[in-house]
Amino acid sequence: MLDIHNLMADLSQHRPIFHSEADFQHALVQQIRKAMPNSEPHLEHYMKNMRLDIYLPTERIAMELKCRLSHRGVRVGRYDFLKDIQKLERVVREGKAESGFAVLLTNVHRFWCPPQRGWETTSDAAFRLHEGRPVTGALTWADWAKPIKDRKKPICLKSSYRLQWRDYSSLGTDKNQQFRYLSVSVK
């Protein structure tokens, strides 16, 4: 049984920071191999018409990972993470996996902090990922908003998820030195 929170806690002890999403993917695969020696995780696993970041064939678990550092766009990161959840729902629904995990690791507090008043009227309100927020159903850009290239399609989530962030690592007290992660379990 994969316990994503224990994996992330163990990983944070020797890898508190990553320089890219690929670095995060490789490190998590190594952590899975260490914690679950018989799991044989596949990195960049291809299935018909899609690619999964990590796939554990023995357990039939699919994983999608995002690592968003301070210099990356927040709106794009929010959309892409929710699109990963949609993809995992499809993989599970089609019987290609029994379960899935979408994991977002970031040092950008705008991902997890509850927004100030008026956030409901922002162009990307449907894609907000702040602490405690429920996400479900059709998620679209505001009618008046100009969607970001390659991210125009609405995201449709079949299940409902309440977002809960967890601490990952802290490199100091400055704004972007706190790393947190969001994990969503898809069944």
Q: Is the pLDDT of residue 172 over 80?
A: yes
Amino acid identity, position 158: K
Sign of CA dihedral 59, 161, 113, 87: positive
Q: Residue 71 — very low, low, confident or very high, per pLDDT cuts 50/70/90?
A: low
Domain encompassing residue 76? 4-186
* pTM greater than 0.85: yes
Residue pair 65/24 in contact (Cβ under 8 Å)? The answer is: yes
Q: How many domains does the chain have?
A: 1
